[in-house]
Amino acid sequence: MSRTYDELTKQQEQQKQLAIAETGTVPAEWQAELDAMREAVAHNGRSSFFGQMMRFRKGAYLLGAEKKKVPEGTRFIGIMAEARHGYRKFVEEVADDGSIKKRPVHIVGKIVDKFVLPGENKLPDRDQSTWKIGLNNKLEDPWKKVAYLPLLSLDGKTVATFVTDTPTGLSRFWNLIDRYQWIGCKHPGKYPVIEPRPDSYHDRRWGQVLVPDLAIVGWIGRPDPAQLLGHNGADAEEPPPNEGDGFDDTWERE
């Protein structure tokens, strides 16, 4: 007796699943589909972050909307497979109560997915007549480069995502990524233990400038990804960089 279309389709799916289990590879047509969806999410979806936002401000690491100071010496597991980078801008929207709120828009993707940062000329909003004047009295591109690094405390109780969008912060983020790819080959299958520290350098214009330092202080087995579930976006929404802190970080400093 001939098999129905549904039966044939089910058998084909089962064969693909078996091939994946045996070889550890995804069939080309499946991979192409996943790649297309991943690219679409990167350019149209919101950035996925875990737990509370962690920012570096005035020499301290502040956690969440309440800006709780992270104690010095606190260590985290860097969830490197979830590290993201890209562009972000904030758009103003009128809330139901009539107030003006800023909502983030992202073009962001994972480093491990080989996300390629689009050229500035390919971004929306290239009409400079619509740009606002920044605090340096110059036209300010609404899109800023941004990076996200999810972190899990060693006891598994705290989930946070370090976020930075300043030149000094982004430089330190990529320094961490570089150290990880160089040293990580000696620790296969492990993630770095990271201790967020304050650092500084002397600038002839601004004097002593405080910057973040994501120091690798050890290595540890990769945690169960389930530990991150339920912590996706614990902050209701990502606040604008300067929201309520009275601190101008638009210069080349943190």
In this structure, is residue 23 part of a structural domain? yes
Q: For residue 126, what are the domain limits?
A: 45-227
* Residue 152: CA count within 13 A, CB half-sphere: 23
Q: Which residue has the higher pLDDT, 3 or 49?
A: 49
pLDDT of residue 129: 86
In this structure, is residue 238 part of a structural domain? no
pLDDT of residue 11: 56
Which are the contacts of 105, defined by CB distance < 8 A and separation ≥ 6?
Answer: 88, 89, 90, 91
10 Å CB burial of residue 179 (0-12, 13-18, 19+) is middle
Q: Which residue has the tokens 């129905």?
A: 4
What does the pLDDT look like over 151-173, one tens digit per residue?
999 998 899 999 999 999 999 99
Q: Is 88 found in the same domain as 15?
A: no
Q: Is 62 found in the same domain as 27?
A: no
pTM: 0.77
- Residue 233 confidence class, pLDDT cut points 50, 70, 90: low
Q: Is 153 found in the same domain as 78?
A: yes
Report whether 86 contacts 106 (CB < 8 A): yes
CB 62: neighbour CB atoms within 10 A?
18
Check pLDDT > 60 for residue 10: no
Q: Is 148 found in the same domain as 189?
A: yes
| For residues 51-74, average pLDDT | 92
Mean of per-residue pLDDT scores for the chain = 81
pLDDT of residue 246: 34
* Residue 218: CA count within 13 A, CB half-sphere: 9
Check pLDDT > 80 for residue 116: yes
Q: Is 113 found in the same domain as 40?
A: no
